[in-house]
Structure 1
Amino acid sequence: MGNARIMLVASALISNAICCWGQAVAREYLASDSHAPELNAKETTSASPLQIIPIVVNATIEVNGQQNDNKIKGVAPLHASREDILSSAGTYGDFSRYLQLFPGVAFNNDESDDLIVRGGNPIENLYLVDGIEVPNINHLSTEGTTGGLVSMIDTGSIQGVDLRTGGYDSSYPERLSSVVSIQTKQIDGRKRREQGEVGTVGAGGLVEFPLSGQGGVLASAHRSLLNLFTNDIGLNGVPIFENALGNATMNPSARDKITLLSLSGDDSIAIQPCAKDIRETNTINTQYSGWRTTNGMRWQHLFSPSAFGIMTLSDSEQHQHINQQDQFLGAVSEKWSTCDLPASAFTPITVYQELTNDGVTNLRYDYFSQLGTRINLKMGGAGSLKRFNYKIAQPTGAQSPLSLNPARSDATSFAPRLSSGETGFYVEGSFQFTKQFSASLGGRIQTFAIDGSSSVTPRAALNYRMSEHTGLYAAFGDYAQLAPAAYLFAFPQNRHLLPIRARHYIAGVNLWDSHAIKTKIEAYKKEYWDYPVSTEYPSLSLADMVDNLGEQFIWLPLTSSGLGRSEGVELSAESSIPSHLHTQANVAYARSEFAGLDGIFRPGNLDYPFVGNLMMTYMSGKRYEASARYEYASGRPYTPFLLAASIAQNRPIYDTSRINAVRGPVYSRLDFQVDRIFNLGDRKLAIYGGLQNAFNRENLLAYEWLPRCTTSGRCMQGYDNVPVSPIYQIPLFPNIGVRYWF
C-alpha cells in the first residue's frame, strides 16, 4: 500500500553470504569478508594459485596468497572505499546513501538511508562491522527495522564497504536480500593522526595511533548540529543524534590477532505537526528517543600455513521510547496564535506508547582450511541468546485507512519479558576443477528464537573463465528469516508465523574486467514464500507497507501465507580512463510483486521497474576534486483513495482492490560537489560544497489527505473540493563543510 503511511515493524532476519570462488576464495576471505582476519596481504610467487603461506614478521601475522590476474570471478561484492564516499555528491558522506548508487539498489525516500536491494524490504539486510553483526546501524530507526535517517558510523573511520546483493554463501547469518560488510580504517605507520570535520550533517572527529608495532587504536565521535539552526527540516521536527566508535587491534603472538570493537549512538526527535495549518497532512504528535550499542571481540588464530580459525563474541543492546498523541482526539484552545502550542492550549490524547529493550549476545566460531591446491573448506557454528523486554500499548487502536468502518480497530497491548536461544551451523566447500572452471557447494542449518522453528538452506555456485578478462557465473541459494519479535508478540496468532523464505537464482557475464574498465551484466530471480500477510485485509502483504517515522503505528494480525517474486537484469560499468576521471554507471530493469491472502500478485511498495545511476568524479592534481551524480527511477506505485467515502468521513480510506495499482511520475535528481584541498605542511585542509537536487525538481513522495482542509471553503476550492495534496521529497539543499587533518 504505497502511501498508507502505516508503520509496520518487519522482520528480524538471519542469513549467509558468499566468500569467493576457486582460487580467489582464500585471498578474499582473508582480505575483506565478514570473517576476514584482516591480516596484511602481500603478493608471493607460490607455485600453487591457492596456497596460503604465513610469514611471521615483528610478531604480526601476514597471510600471503598469489595474485592471479586470471582468477575466476563469480558473484563478487560491490565495493566502495572511504575516499569514494567522502568525495561523492549527494551522500552527505553517508556510506548507505553511496550504496544506493550500486546496481540493484534503490532508495525508500530522500529522508532515509534505507537500502532497497532487488525489491527486498530494508529489514532483509545484514550489517557487519569488522565481522561483528550490528542489528541496527542507523539513527532514528524504529523497532524491527534497519534503516533510518543517517548512519551511526562516520565515513572517515572506515576503510571500505562491501555490498553483496545476492547469492552469498552459507557462512553468513541468515538474511533474505543482502550483506553489508564494513571494514574500519586500518592503522598503519607509527604516527598519531587526527581529523576533524564540520558540515551540514554535524561535527565530529577521529584519532588513530599505532601500538608499538603491535596493532593500533582508532576512535571517532560525531554529533548533529541542525537543531542549533532550525526546529524543522521538513519532518515537523529536527533530529538530534550523536555516536561514537572505537576499534583496537593487538597481536599478542606471531599466530594471534585480537580485534576489539565498540559502536554506540543515541538519538531523539519531537515531531509536532502544526495544528493551525489547514494544509498539514499529519495529525500525530510523536516523541522519540533511543540508543543502541554493539561491543565485540574477535580472536584470529593461525594453526598452520593452510588453516586458521576465528572466534567472535559480541553483545548488542537497543532501547527505544516512543509516545504518540492524536491531535484530532484532543481539545484545542482558541487562544493560541502560532504552531508552537503551549501545553495549556493543546491537550491531544495519547494513542500509542512504546518502551522496548532488545539484547542479543552472540558467540561464533569459523574455521578455514585449504586442502591441497584445489579445495578450500570453511565451516562454523554460532549460538545467540536474545532478550526481549517490551511494554507496548495501543489501547484505542487506530482508524484504519484500509477499512470503511470509522471505528478504531486493532487495539492491542503486550509486555513480554523473556530470553530465547538460537543456533546456526554451516559448511562450505570451493573446488577448482580446471584453470577455467570452479564451483562451490554448501548449506546452513538454523534454529530460530521465540518459536523454535528451524530451516535447512542449501547454496551452490559455478564459475567459468572464458579469457583473461571475461567469464560466466551462476549461483543458487535458499535463505530464511524470522519476522521481527515485536510483530510476533503483537497478537497471539502472530506467534505462529513461520520464517520467511527466499530463493535466489543468479546468472551473470563479466563482459570485461580489468584495472581500467569493468563491465558486467547480471540477471536474478528471487522467490518468496511464507511471507507475512494480513488476515483482515486479504489483498495486503507486509511488502505493501511503508516505514515513516512520525505516523501512527498500527500492529496487525498476520499469517504466513504470502508469496512474492522479484526479478530483473542489471548492466553496470566502471571506467578510470583517463586516470583522473572515474565514471560509474548502471541501469536495471526489474519487477517486484507480492501476493496477500487472496493470492493475487501486485506491485510491492518498493517496486521500481527502471533505475539508472551515473556518477562521475574528476580529480585535478592534488588540489581540486569535483563529483556529479544523477539518479533516475520509475515512479513509485501507490494506492488511490476511495474519494467519496474519504470525503464523507474526512479521513484517508484506500481502495484495497487497487493496492499499488497507480504509479507516480518518474524520480530524477542531479547532485554535485566540489572539494578544494590545501596542503599545510604535513597537515591538510579540505573545504567542500555542493547541492542536492541541484535543479530543485519536485520529486513526488506521496499523495496525502488534508484532514483540516475540509473546514475551509477557500482551501477546498484550491484543491477542487478534493482535499488531497502531493507531498514532495527534499528540494534543493546545500551540503557544505570543512575537513582538517592534523
Structure 2
Amino acid sequence: MFTETVFSQTLTQTIRGTVVDKDSKQPLTGATIIALETNPLIGNISDEQGKFKLAEVPLGRYTIKCSYLGYEDVVLSNIVLTSGKEMVLTLEMQEKIIQGESVTVFSNRDRDKTNNDLISISGRNFQPEETWRYAGTRADPSRMAANYAGVVSANDTRNDIIVRGNSPSGVLWKLEGVEIPNPNHFSGQGATGGPMSMLNNNLLASSDFLTGAFPAEYGNKTAAVFDLKLRRGNNEHHEFTGMFGINGLELGAEGPFSKNHKSSYLISYRYSTFALFNLLGINFGVSGIPTYQDATFLLNFPISKKDIVSIFGIGGMSKISLLDSKRDSSDWQFVAKGEDIVYGTKMAAGGISYTHFFNTNTYSKLTLSSGTALLHVMVDTLGIDNKKSQTYDNNSTDGNATIEYFISKKFNEKNLLKTGANYSYLFFNYHEQSYRPTEHSMIDLIKNNGNTGMVQAYTHWQHRFSDKIVLNTGIHFEDFLLNGSYSIEPRIGFNYKIGERNQVSFGYGMHSQTMPLMVYFFELYDTATHAYTTSNLNLGLMKSHHLIAGYDFNFIKNFRLKTEVYYQYLYDVPIKGNDSSSYSAINMGGDYGFPNVDSLVNKGTGYNYGAEFTLEKFFSNHYYFLVTTSLFESKYTGSDLVLRDTKFNGHYVLNTLVGYEFKYGKNKNQALSLDLKYTLAGGRRYTPIDLAASQFFNNEILIDSKAWNKQLPDYWRFDVKIGFRINTKHATHSIIAVCENVFGTKNILQQTYNTGIKNILTEYQLGVFPYGAYRVEF
C-alpha cells in the first residue's frame, strides 16, 4: 500500500542556484531561467545577487535554459532531479562579441565543454553522475576517465591513468585548484594510481580532465591533468547521504551553518566494506583483508559580496597484511611466496582559500595548502618452521606546503588576462632498507631527510576575435630549487567554430616535470668501502613538446563525432649515465613505486603519436552511448641507444558504453536502468625473465636486451550494470548490481619468477567480479 501510494504521488523538488559572468565570476541580475520540459513551463528571473529558484518542479530529467541580454544562452541538459536533494546550479554565461546576434550554447560540443574556458583542446568535462551511471567504473573518477579517448587502463587491480602512451607518473591531480598527493589507497612512492580511490563521487562537482597541451596555469607534469572540484554544500537546508558498497560504508552530511548566513558545510566519511565484514565475523576465505578509511570536507564562507573563504580537506589511510605464515590452506587470494608482507599508506591534503572581487571585472584568489603522503612496507622471508628474517623495510614521508596566488582581469568581452604564481616548500624523510646477502645484514638504500622547493609562475591571455574564433596563449615558468633546473614553456590554443555544427582546434604546449624526490636522494652503497654516494642530485627536468589538432562534428542533435591527432616529443628523459642500459624514466609508474637507480642523466628521448575517435550520443530519449577508439605508438631510447616500445605501448584501445533508462510508476517517478560496457585493448608489455639466471640466483632476473619487446595477449572485458532509482516523498533510494567481466575472460596480469616453485608464474586479472551498492539521500 505504501509503495502504491508513493508511486502515485506527484513528487516535486527545487532547482536553484546562481547566474554569473563566466570570466569575472560576477553575478548577473535579470537572467531568465527555464526548465524546458515542464508543462506549463516553470521559470524565474535571477535577483540582484544572481540567485534564482524554481520551486515545485516535478521529479525527472530536465534541460535548464538560461538567457540574458548581451550574453550567449546557456543550456544544461540531463539534469536529474530527485526527491532526496535539491538541485543547486552555478550557471556561467559568456558575453557576446557581436551584440544583437542570437547565439545559443546548445550544441553537442558544449555538453562536455570544460569548466576552465582557457582550455582549447584535449579537454573533457567530467560529471560525477557518470561514475554512478556507467558500468565498470566502481564510482571511481580514474576508472571513469579510462573510458575517454586516449586513455588506457587495462588493469583490473589498479586505476592508473595511462594517457597517450605516457607514464601515469605524469598525471597532475588537483583538488579545489591545489595540487594534492596521490588520492588513492594502497599507493606507492612516485605512483599516481592505486587499487581504491579516496575521491568520493558524491562530493565532487563538474570537473575537467585534460590529455595534452595544457593551458599555462598547469605545470610540473607532462601526461595529463585531473582538475577536480568539490561541490558547495546546500546553504539553505540540511541534507544527508548514506551509502554501502564496494568503496565502503559511507555517511555524509551538508547544510548551512546558520539560516541567516549563506555559509555551508559538506562532509563525508567512508570505512572499508571488507574490514567491516571482518569485524562482524564474516569470512571471505582470505587472510589478507584490505582495511581503509577516508574523509573529505568543504566549508564555504561568503563573508561579503566581495569576499569568500573556503576550507577543504581530504585524507585517508589503508593497510593490508599478506602473511604466508598465517595463510590457511583454503585461502584463494594469493600464491605462497614464502613471505610476510605488511603494506600501509596514509595521505592527507587540505587548504584555505580567500577569493576577493576588486570590481565587476577583476578578482583574485590566495590559497594556502599542504599535503603529506606516508608509506610503510615491511617484508619478512620465511624459513624453516616459518622462522622470519627481515628482508625489506620502508618508512618514508613526502610532503609540501604551498602558497599560491592568481589574479584574473576581464578587460572587455574580447580580452581576458590571468596571472599567477606559487611556491611549494617540499619536505621528505626517507628510510628504505634491503637485506644484502653479501653483507649478511640490512643495508640502507635511502636514509635521508630534508627539504627543497619549487617555484612556478604563469600568465595566460585569451583573445576572442569573435564568438566563433578564440585564441589562448600563455607562458609557464618553473624552477626546481634543489639544483636550479628551470623551464620556460610557451602554450598556445586556437578554436574556430564553423557554423553551428563544426569546430576545428589546434594546440601546442611545452611541458616539464621533476622526478619523485626519492629518485634524487637514492644512495648507492659501495660494498668495498662501505660508503654511500648520492649521484642523482643534479638531475634536471624531463621535458615534452605536445602538438595536437582536433575536429568536432555535430551531425545530429545530441550526437557528436570528435577526432584528435597528436604528436609528443619527450627529451631530457632520465636514463642510466654510467653504462649501456634499457632503463628510462619514461617506463616508470603504474606500479607500487619507482625502482632505485643511480647515476641518472638527462639524455633520453622518446615520442608518442596517435589518433583518437569519439562517437557519442548524449543522454536523451532515455538512452546514451559512448564509443571511443585510440590508435597510438609510444617509443623511447635508453643509454644503449636502442629504439624500443615503451612499457605503455599497447597500440590501441576500444571502449563501447551504452545504457537505457526505463521510467515506471504512475507519475514516472521511478527509474530502472541497464548499462553495458565492452573494452578491448592491446596487451600489457613486459620484459622476459631469464629463467636459468633466476634459478641460479634464486631471484627474478630480467633480460635487459629484450626490455618491453614482449606483449601479453589482448585484454577484453564485458561489464553489466542494473540500477534502480526510487523516489519517495523525502528520500531517494538508489540500488545498483554490477558484474564486471561477466564472461570470465582470463586476462593475464603479469608473469613473475616465484622463488618457492623456482619457475615462472602467470598471474591473472580478476575473473567474474560481482558487486553492488545502495545509496539513500534525504
Choose the corresponding residue for 2:632, options 582, 586, 590: 590
Question: Is the CA contact 1:391–1:415 (under 8 Å) kept in the aligned structure 2?
Answer: yes
Partner of 1:10: none
Unaligned runs of 5+ in 2: 1-19, 27-49, 53-64, 75-88, 97-102, 114-119, 524-533, 664-669
In the TM superposition, what is the alpha-carbon distance from 1:409 to its structure 2 partner?
A: 13
- Counterpart Cα distance in 2 of 1:548 and 1:247: 31
Partner of 1:692: 740
Is 1:682 paired with 2:714?
A: no
Question: Is the CA contact 1:322–1:353 (under 8 Å) kept in the aligned structure 2?
Answer: yes
Alignment of 1:487-566 (within 5 A): 487-491=519-523, 492-512=534-554, 516-535=558-577, 536=579, 538-545=581-588, 547-549=590-592, 554-566=596-608
Aligned residue pairs, count:
668
Q: Which stretches of structure 1, 4 residues or longer, exceed 6 Å deviation after superposition?
A: 39-42, 48-51, 60-63, 70-73, 230-236, 274-279, 407-410
In the TM superposition, what is the alpha-carbon distance from 1:487 to its structure 2 partner?
A: 1.0
Residue 657 of structure 1 aligns to a residue in which SS?
helix
**CA gap 1:63/1:576 in 2 versus in 1, 3 angstroms:** closer
**CA gap 1:578/1:454 in 2 versus in 1, 3 angstroms:** closer
**CA gap 1:217/1:320 in 2 versus in 1, 3 angstroms:** same
Residue 539 of structure 1 aligns to a residue in which SS?
coil
- Counterpart Cα distance in 1 of 2:307 and 2:73: 22
- Counterpart Cα distance in 2 of 1:232 and 1:704: 29
- Counterpart Cα distance in 1 of 2:197 and 2:754: 32
Choose the corresponding residue for 1:306, options 361, 364, 368: 361
Choose the corresponding residue for 1:391, options 431, 443, 459: 431
**CA gap 1:235/1:669 in 2 versus in 1, 3 angstroms:** farther
Is 1:47 paired with 2:70?
A: yes
Unaligned runs of 5+ in 1: 1-24, 32-38, 52-59, 334-344, 399-406, 711-722
Partner of 2:263: 215
Question: Is the CA contact 1:61–1:254 (under 8 Å) kept in the aligned structure 2?
Answer: no
CA RMSD of aligned residues (A): 3.2
Percent sequence identity is: 23
In the TM superposition, what is the alpha-carbon distance from 1:26 to its structure 2 partner?
A: 7.4
- Pick which of 533-542 and 354-363 moved more: 533-542
Is 1:576 paired with 2:614?
A: no
Residue 586 of structure 2 aligns to a residue in which SS?
helix
**CA gap 1:389/1:645 in 2 versus in 1, 3 angstroms:** closer
Is 1:363 paired with 2:403?
A: yes
Question: Is the CA contact 2:300–2:311 (under 8 Å) kept in the aligned structure 1?
Answer: yes
Is 1:133 paired with 2:170?
A: no
Is 1:703 paired with 2:751?
A: yes
- Counterpart Cα distance in 2 of 1:103 and 1:29: 32
Partner of 2:508: 476
Partner of 1:104: 150
Q: Which has the higher contact order (CA 8 A, sep 6+)?
A: 1
Choose the corresponding residue for 2:448, options 403, 409, 416: 416
**CA gap 1:453/1:186 in 2 versus in 1, 3 angstroms:** same
Question: Is the CA contact 1:355–1:392 (under 8 Å) kept in the aligned structure 2?
Answer: yes
Question: Is the CA contact 1:44–1:66 (under 8 Å) kept in the aligned structure 2?
Answer: no
Paired residue type of 2:315: S
Alignment of 1:177-326 (within 5 A): 177-188=223-234, 190-211=236-257, 212=259, 213-229=261-277, 237-273=288-324, 280=335, 282-326=337-381
**CA gap 1:380/1:547 in 2 versus in 1, 3 angstroms:** closer
Alignment of 1:559-638 (within 5 A): 559-576=601-618, 578-621=620-663, 622-638=670-686
In the TM superposition, what is the alpha-carbon distance from 1:728 to its structure 2 partner?
A: 0.7
Is 1:735 paired with 2:771?
A: yes
Residue 202 of structure 2 aligns to a residue in which SS?
helix
Partner of 1:78: 124
- Counterpart Cα distance in 2 of 1:602 and 1:645: 23
Partner of 1:65: 94
**CA gap 1:439/1:235 in 2 versus in 1, 3 angstroms:** farther
In the TM superposition, what is the alpha-carbon distance from 1:157 to its structure 2 partner?
A: 1.4
- Counterpart Cα distance in 2 of 1:666 and 1:504: 28
- Counterpart Cα distance in 2 of 1:167 and 1:431: 18
- Counterpart Cα distance in 1 of 2:490 and 2:406: 18
**CA gap 1:284/1:187 in 2 versus in 1, 3 angstroms:** same
Is 1:332 paired with 2:361?
A: no
In the TM superposition, what is the alpha-carbon distance from 1:602 to its structure 2 partner?
A: 1.0
In the TM superposition, what is the alpha-carbon distance from 1:419 to its structure 2 partner?
A: 2.1
Paired residue type of 1:563: T
Alignment of 1:12-23 (within 5 A): none
Question: Is the CA contact 1:46–1:66 (under 8 Å) kept in the aligned structure 2?
Answer: no
Task: Give a deviation string over 1:313-350, Cα, whole Å, max 9, x none.
Answer: 111122222222334xxx221xxxxxxxxxxx321x32
Higher strand share: 2
Is 1:27 paired with 2:79?
A: no
In the TM superposition, what is the alpha-carbon distance from 1:515 to its structure 2 partner?
A: 6.0
- Counterpart Cα distance in 2 of 1:365 and 1:77: 24
Partner of 1:9: none
Provide the TM-score with structure 1 as the length reference: 0.83
- Counterpart Cα distance in 1 of 2:557 and 2:313: 35
**CA gap 1:625/1:521 in 2 versus in 1, 3 angstroms:** same
- Counterpart Cα distance in 1 of 2:641 and 2:631: 24
Partner of 2:714: 666
- Counterpart Cα distance in 2 of 1:123 and 1:297: 27
Paired residue type of 1:659: A
Task: Give a deviation string over 1:482-527, Cα, whole Å, max 9, x none.
Answer: 1111111003111121111111111111122776122210011111
- Counterpart Cα distance in 2 of 1:356 and 1:236: 26
In the TM superposition, what is the alpha-carbon distance from 1:459 to its structure 2 partner?
A: 0.6
Paired residue type of 1:734: P
Partner of 2:666: none
- Counterpart Cα distance in 2 of 1:87 and 1:397: 53
Question: Is the CA contact 1:352–1:553 (under 8 Å) kept in the aligned structure 2?
Answer: no
Is 1:375 paired with 2:415?
A: yes
Residue 222 of structure 1 aligns to a residue in which SS?
strand
- Counterpart Cα distance in 2 of 1:507 and 1:734: 40
In the TM superposition, what is the alpha-carbon distance from 1:547 to its structure 2 partner?
A: 4.8
Task: Give a deviation string over 1:267-315, Cα, whole Å, max 9, x none.
Answer: 1111235799999474543212221111211211112222111111111
Paired residue type of 1:417: N
Question: Is the CA contact 1:45–1:66 (under 8 Å) kept in the aligned structure 2?
Answer: no
